[in-house]
Amino acid sequence: MAALWRGCGRLLARRPGAAQALTAGTLMGAGDVIAQQLVERRGLQGHQGSRTMKMMAIGFCFVGPVVGSWYRILDQLVPGATKVVAAKKMVLDQGGFAPCFLGCFLAITGAMNGLSVEENWSKIRQDYTDALLTNYCIWPPVQMANFYLVPLQHRLAVVQCVAIIWNCYLSWKANRM
């Protein structure tokens, strides 16, 4: 078993995009499980496994690749690791990327939940502002620390660990009908 883990570790080290997608998908699933069990109190009998799988798929196919790529682009746009550079990255992240990313996330979740275009647009209009304001309460200090203290290759993992709580909120918000 230890050899299997070492082999997986070597493979993921050679393929950082795969590691980021795997991390994001796993932690998106964990956030959904927490949302269903602790926030919504569904219990094991009421747990919607298909919803957890959808959230994991969004993490694997959207969150991991998009956020991982964004961090690489941001490092090219604003190179360095000073406090001023971290502040610039945080402003770009929270002022430009986060609003777009959140809208796309809500749209993808709605589509995966089978909403029509009209229903999806209505749900986005209902949830977007509240979700974005909540984002601004959580993410600016996290991102300042992340951009200042954490090497590029570990930023998505650090964010995803903090994001278990955020993912729980997003899952609850996006799946509330």
In tens, the pLDDT along 16-52 reads 678 888 888 998 899 899 989 988 889 999 999 999 9
pTM, 2 dp:
0.82
Please give the span between the terminal C-alpha atoms of the chain, in angstroms, as a whole number.
Answer: 43
Q: Is the pLDDT of residue 176 over 90?
A: no
In tens, the pLDDT along 82-134 reads 999 999 999 999 999 999 999 999 999 999 999 999 999 999 999 999 999 99
Q: How far apart are CA 131 and CA 99, in angstroms?
A: 10
In tens, the pLDDT along 142-161 reads 999 999 999 888 887 788 78
Residue 164: how many other CB atoms lie within 10 Å = 14
Dmax over Cα atoms in the chain, in whole Å?
51
In tens, the pLDDT along 63-74 reads 999 998 998 999
Q: How far apart are CA 1 and CA 6, in angstroms?
A: 9
The per-residue pLDDT for 177 is 63
The per-residue pLDDT for 166 is 82
Residue 71: closest CA among 174, 167, 160, 169? 160
